[in-house]
Amino acid sequence: MGQMIVGRGRRQGRGLFAFALALLMVAVPPAQAGSLQGEGPLTLERSLALAKEQSLSLAAARAQVEAAQAKVQQARAGFWPQIGLSAGYSQFSEEQMVSVSMIDTPRGSSPVLELADHLYSTQVRLQQPLYTGGRLTAAQRQAELGLTAAEKELERVGLDLELQVAEAYYAVLRSRGLERVAQKAQEQVAAHRRALEEMYRAGTAVEADLVRVRAQEAALRQNLLKAQHGRQVAEESLKLLVGLPPEAALELQDVPEVPEALRGYEEVLSTALERRPELVRARLGAAQAEAGLQMARSALYPNLTLMVDYSWQEKELRLENGSWTARLNLSWSLFDAGAGRSRLQEAEAMARQSELAVRQLEDATRLEVRQRWLAVQEAQEAIGVAELEVQRAREDLRLAEARFRAGMGTSVEVLDAQAALVQAEEKWVQARYDYHLAVARLKRTAGLPIEGGWS
């Protein structure tokens, strides 16, 4: 009887565990893949947002910005007074005369001496730089420029990520388009093969035509398999970028067929020279080099510091009867074997190098903008050409099939027309997404977001 109760308890425990597990699966929200369910197709804008949420490169760039902000605070702290506290306790082997306090006399303050075998001492010191030859100002300027440069680096990483996601997004759309073309081509040649088989059984077609169409059908099956594999690889690459699991369903929103209005070359170039993060960072680097030059010059000037000490020492631990001292501390390196001059020459050379780097990057930007802009023009023209070729290939196929059905054409003509249509449609798919990719690369060169406008 007891064993039956135990078994029943175990069954109840397993039932409760299963119920709790089912409840947990319902209550806990699904993974990120499930979060896309019910939200419609995955747009390029949404893909960019998902990629930025889980990008390690962006996280590292944000940490770099935080570090630069801390450096700015450090540089600004140099202008403020520094206050320090020191305290000590001394124990002597035998009593000796020590100064325990100060008293005012007609001739000034005099120490009070007492016998003691121990002593407490405390000192508070305030230091305030009064003149540093411009070193503190240059250090603050250099830190602030470093912060702006870190922010521009964060922008650069973000734009690079946007382009990477856009390339993967367009690659999925292109591979799916090519897969549809391959699927349609296989269906067309299969239909023609079935028609030939009927004609062959009726004695109105030769075996050579049947062998030829079967060979082309096999080649198209291989082409379809290749297109399917390309689509799978493209989808997995996009999922990896946006943080989706490999098994997640991926429904994408297609891009518009109408080409985007493009700005003129001079306008795009002006935007790139003003906004491209790499170029802005190079200019900031040149400004930092100038600040470094000012810091090197400051080493040739004297430094003046105000120092105020308040100290006391007693046989008992109490903070009274102390004395204060104020003094101006002037330090000036009069001879350092030319080290200061050498550092100044090094800073001047670094400043010239930074200026040359800016000019070099400006020239490279002009060339890259020209190349990207022309690539967009070529891609836009290729779309129109591909559309005309598709229209012509469809008409050629229609005529070839009509001639074949009327007994006036051959199977070879139909197969050739089908192959020409496949090539034309593949070319149209390539041209369409090549254009959008060319626009995205031009925007990246100009320092503009992929989904934004041209201003």
Query: What is the rounded average pLDDT of the residues 1-5?
Result: 37
- Which residues constitute the domain of residue 220? 47-82+136-303+342-446
CA angle 165, 46, 243 (to 5 degrees): 60
Whole-structure pTM value: 0.80
User: How much of the chain, in percent, has pLDDT values that exceed 90?
Assistant: 64
Residue 4 in any domain: the answer is: no
pLDDT at residue 96, rounded to an integer: 75
Query: What is the rounded average pLDDT of the residues 206-228?
Result: 92
At position 269, the amino acid (one-letter code) is L
Residue 117 in any domain: the answer is: no
Strand partners, 308: 126, 326
Query: What is the rounded average pLDDT of the residues 216-222?
Result: 93
Q: With 70 as the cut, is the pLDDT of residue 112 above it?
A: no
Query: What is the rounded average pLDDT of the residues 421-430?
Result: 96
User: How much of the chain, in percent, has pLDDT values that exceed 70?
Assistant: 86
| Beta strands at 82-105 and 108-131: parallel, antiparallel or unpaired | antiparallel
For 178-216, b where at least 16 C-beta lie within 10 A, e where not — what string? bbebbebbbebbeebbebbeebeeeeebeeebbebbeeb
Residue 267: which H helix or E strand, with range? helix 265-275
Strand partners, 309: 125, 325
Residue 182 in any domain: the answer is: yes
Query: What is the rounded average pLDDT of the residues 358-365?
Result: 96
Query: What is the rounded average pLDDT of the residues 209-219?
Result: 92
Residue 347 in any domain: the answer is: yes
pLDDT grade for 111, boundaries at 50, 70 and 90? low
Q: Please state the domain count of the chain.
A: 1
Residue 269 in any domain: the answer is: yes
Lowest mean pLDDT among 115-119, 219-223, 224-228, 362-366: 115-119
Q: Which two tokens stand for residue 42?
A: 């995955």
Assign residue 425 the CATH number of its domain: 1.20.1600.10
Q: Residue 320, SS3?
A: coil
Give me the residue label for tokens 């000012």: 294
Query: What is the rounded average pLDDT of the residues 61-69?
Result: 96
Residue 367 in any domain: the answer is: yes
At position 147, the amino acid (one-letter code) is L
Supply the mean pLDDT for the chain: 86
Distance, in Å, from the CA atom of 50 to the CA atom of 190, rounded to the nearest integer, reads: 42
Give me the residue label for tokens 């030939």: 196
For 98-137, b where at least 16 C-beta lie within 10 A, e where not — what string? bebbbeeeeeeeeeeeeebeebbebbbeeeebeebbebbb
| 347 in Cβ contact with 289 (< 8 Å) | yes
Distance, in Å, from the CA atom of 144 to the CA atom of 142, rounded to the nearest integer, reads: 6
pLDDT at residue 285, rounded to an integer: 94
Residue 165 in any domain: the answer is: yes
Q: With 80 as the cut, is the pLDDT of residue 245 above it?
A: yes
pLDDT at residue 259, rounded to an integer: 64
Distance, in Å, from the CA atom of 77 to the CA atom of 136, rounded to the nearest integer, reads: 9
Residue 454 in any domain: the answer is: no
CB atoms under 10 Å from CB of 254, counted, come to 12
pLDDT at residue 30, rounded to an integer: 39
